[in-house]
Amino acid sequence: MKTENHGATLVITDIDRLSATNATWFEELAGARLSDTHRTVDVDLSHARFIDSDGLEALIAVRSRLVGRQGRVRLLSPAPMVKTMLKLLHLDRVFDIVNN
């Protein structure tokens, strides 16, 4: 996983899977990189082959941090499996999904 700062946006890329084995790591990484100036976190899920409930709940946890400061989490180009999961769990209504 990599993070980049684009102004008020924190971009997280290079995610090939987001599951119980690295969900905590993802959450800690995002927490460590987030500053008060960030309003948006963009999570690039275009290469995410696999996501499970722990992975999705880590995304929700990051979103909860931002909601308090009027921020948002955007999921960029989720891979098909991720998209299916978001729909199954009705989370496509919670996150901003950006399809390129």
Partner 1 sequence: MEAVVATRPRTCALQAPCSLPGARELCRRAREFLAETGLAAADLDGWELVLDEAANNAVQNARPADRQKPIRVEVVAGEAVVEVRVTDHTPGFDFPDVAELPDPEAESGRGLFIIRSLTDEALYLRGARENCLVLRKRRSPGAAPQPDPQQELAEARQTLDLMTEELASSYESLSAIFRFSAELQADVPTDEFARRWLDQLLRITESDWFILHLKDRDAPCLRVAATSFVGWSGESLCLDPAAGTSPSVEVRAATERVDVWFDGQTPLPAGDPLAHLGGQGCGFAHPILVNDVLVGVLVVARRSNNPFGAGQVSVIQTFADFLGIQIRNTQFQEEQVRARLITRELEIVASIQHLLLPGQLPSAPRAALAGFYRSAREVGGDYYDALPTGDGNLLLVVADVMGKGLPAALFALMFRSLVRARLDLAPRPAEFLAWLNRHLSDELDRAGMFITAQLVFLDASRGEMRVAGAGHPPLLLASASGKATEIPSASAPLGLLPKEMFSEVCHAIPEGCALMFTDGLIEARNRAGDLLGIDEVKSLLAHAARQGESCEAIKQRLVQRLHDFEQSTQPADDTAFIVIAGQHAKP
Q: Residue from 10, 12, 18, 56 that binds partner 1 (CB under 8 A)?
A: 56
Nearer to partner 1 by C-beta: 7 or 71? 71
* C-alpha angle 89-76-88 in degrees, rounded to nearest 5: 10
Contact pick of 13, 52, 65, 76 for partner 1 (by CB under 8 A): 52
* Surface-to-core class of residue 37, CB atoms within 10 Å of its CB (0-12 exposed, 13-18 middle, 19+ buried): exposed
Smallest distance from partner 1 to CB 77, Å: 18
5 contacts partner 1 (rule: CB under 8 A): no
Alpha-helical (H) ranges within 1-100 are 20-33, 53-67, 80-88
By CB under 8 A, residue 53 contacts partner 1:
yes
Per rule CB under 8 A, is residue 81 in the interface with partner 1? yes
The answer to the question of residue 22 lying near partner 1 (CB under 8 A) is yes
Query: Can you name the residues that pair with 10 across neighbouring β-strands?
Result: 5, 41
Phi-psi region of 66 (alpha: psi -120 to 50; beta: other; left: phi over 0): alpha
The residues binding partner 1 (CB under 8 A) are 17, 19-22, 25, 50, 52-54, 56-57, 60-61, 64, 81, 85, 88-91, 93-94
